[in-house]
Structure formats: C-alpha cells, structure tokens
Amino acid sequence: MTYLRPNFRHPDAPTNRIGFTEKDYEGALSTLCAGCGHDSISSAIVSACFELSIEPHRVAKLSGIGCSSKTPTYFLSNSHGFNSVHGRMPSVTTGANLANRDLIYLGVSGDGDSASIGLGQFGHVVRRNLNMLYVLENNGCYGLTKGQTSATTDLDSVNKAGVNNPFEPIDLTKLALQLGATFVARSFSGDKEQLVPLIKAAISHRGFAFIDVISPCVTFNNNPGSKKSYDFVREHCEATATIDFVPMQEEITTAYEPGSTKEVTLHDGSVIRLQKPMTDYRPDNRHAALEALHRAEQRGEILTGLLYIDEDPSDLHDTLNTVSTALNALDEEALCPGNKVLQSINRSFR
C-alpha cells in the first residue's frame, strides 16, 4: 500500500492569485476504499479552494463520525480541523463560528451522521442560518459498518444482499428548504464540472449553504438495483441548470445568448451563472424548488444543481447582533470589561 503521494506535480501546474498551487490544498492519501465517491468530493473541495485562492489557514474543517467524516484528513492539510462527536458537528461548528467569525467553516458529514444520529442538530443549524458550508456525503448506506441501509436509502433500493428497502428516505435537501436554508444544492461526486462551481458558490454564500452530494459507496452500495450506484445516478441525473461561478475578482468575459442564462449575484459581487436552465426554474423561489424536487422524484429522476439561493440573507451573527470582531481579536478590556459593566448588565434585567 502506498501511503505517500509522490511529490511531483504537472510541471505546468499553475499558481493561484495568492501564489499557491493546487498541491498546497491537498491532504493525506486517502485510506477509504478505492473508488469511493467521497475521494472525488475531497478532490472537488481541493480544486474549489485552490480556484477561489482561499488562504488555507483561513478555513476550519469540521466533521462528525463515519467514512465521510474521515475525509477532512484527505484535503486542506494546512487548514484547521475538528473531528467531533457523532452527529454533533453542527453544534461544534456553531460554537467555533460564534467565537471566530473570520474563518470559513466547512462541515463534512454523512447520511448516518446527519439524517440519523444528527438529524436534530442538522435541523437546528439550518434554522439558525449559521454561515457555513455543510457538505453531505450521501452514499445511502452505513459504509463504515458494512453497508446497512441508512435513513437516506431510497425506497425500493436493493442492497448488496438483494433486499429491498421498505422505508421512505429522508431527503435532507427538502428538509433544509423547509427549515429556511438560504443555499440548497444537490450534486454527484462523479460530476466535478457541476460540483466544483457549486462548492465555490456555497463557500462564497454568506449564510447556511447545504450541498447534498450523492457519493456512491463502491464497496457496499454500487450493486444493480441500488439507487445510489454510479450507473443509476449517472442515468437519472437531471440538472436544474449548468452552473458556472465567477468570483468577484474576475471580469466576466464570456458572452452568452440572451435568455439562455440566469445570473445570481452574491453579497460580495461574485456571480453564479446558470446556463440552459430548466423551463420554469427559479433559483430564488423556495416553493418552486420544493415543487421541482417533487416532480423529479415522481419521474424517478434525481434533481441536481443549484436548487435554491437567497442572495443576501442575514446569518446568525446578524440575528444575534454579535460583535463584528472575532473574539480572539478583541483585547482583554473588551472581553472582560469588569465589574462595573457586569453590574449595569445585571441591572438591565431587573
């Protein structure tokens, strides 16, 4: 087994705006099963952060437990990391974000971690609109414990032993939409052309951004009859639109036929461009998104792409009216203003 990736990269590998190559965003060599969709997602995160010229030390990656939650080791080695308790990534992220609002929060979770043990945590982080990217690496099974069906296993999906799943799945994109998430998308680990711009847009979004990434478990859930196998997903994907992300620093140079694209401008001036959108697709309408999801489901299709976005929402810090400076940047006097201030606060409650 090779534990180290060779150090050579393509001699023409470019550097980004801040002088890093993509290699500077990589992590350790994956120990997941060969062919795991999660590795492709890690690779997409690496590309997205490289292309956005994010300083690696400005990112905190947080996860729970499971195959998905191992993956932060495999990308962004130079970033902060926190591997938390099963299903509790959202509360750890909430705490971290409230303490230091200057970092980019990248939460990675799986279907077990988010839709079973962590379902409650998931609901609350959505409704609080915490400024973070929540990546759900959704393989529809418990891959780490030999592939039992999970809460997101589709109805009538056949497992490796040939048994049909009799239960309705929990669709976390629908749940997120219903609970007020301000950026909701779905993608497929095998489609980086869609996934990378979605991650870039989600990172640039100020507020809670949720991407449900279908990520086939090549060892336990890639059999015929599975609804989360590479073949099934590839055959049943239906994108809302082709997505393109133009960061704020870049000039928009490509010309498109009028009417063929929709554009969404984010708070920082970045633009999400949606090409060849589906008829009646409206990325700014929560109900339309839910309806589109239902309709695709009835057709037996998987709707991918950007489902919904609120261009400039208020996040948890706005709602709580917190101090605009990260706590670690405040001096002692500001953090501990002393007895006099405490007394006056106490007085205000009487």
Residues forming contacts to another protein in the complex (CB under 8 A) are 1-2, 4-13, 29-30, 33-37, 39-40, 42-43, 189-190, 192, 216, 218-219, 222, 230-231, 234
Least distance in Å: CB of 16 to another protein?
A: 15
Closer residue to another protein in complex, CB, 93/229: 229
Least distance in Å: CB of 164 to another protein?
A: 23
Least distance in Å: CB of 292 to another protein?
A: 25
Closer residue to another protein in complex, CB, 116/275: 275
Closer residue to another protein in complex, CB, 30/165: 30
Closer residue to another protein in complex, CB, 102/193: 193
Closer residue to another protein in complex, CB, 33/278: 33
Least distance in Å: CB of 189 to another protein?
A: 7
Least distance in Å: CB of 29 to another protein?
A: 8
| Residue whose C-alpha is closest to residue 90's, from 181, 154, 178, 169 | 181
Least distance in Å: CB of 99 to another protein?
A: 34
Closer residue to another protein in complex, CB, 13/163: 13
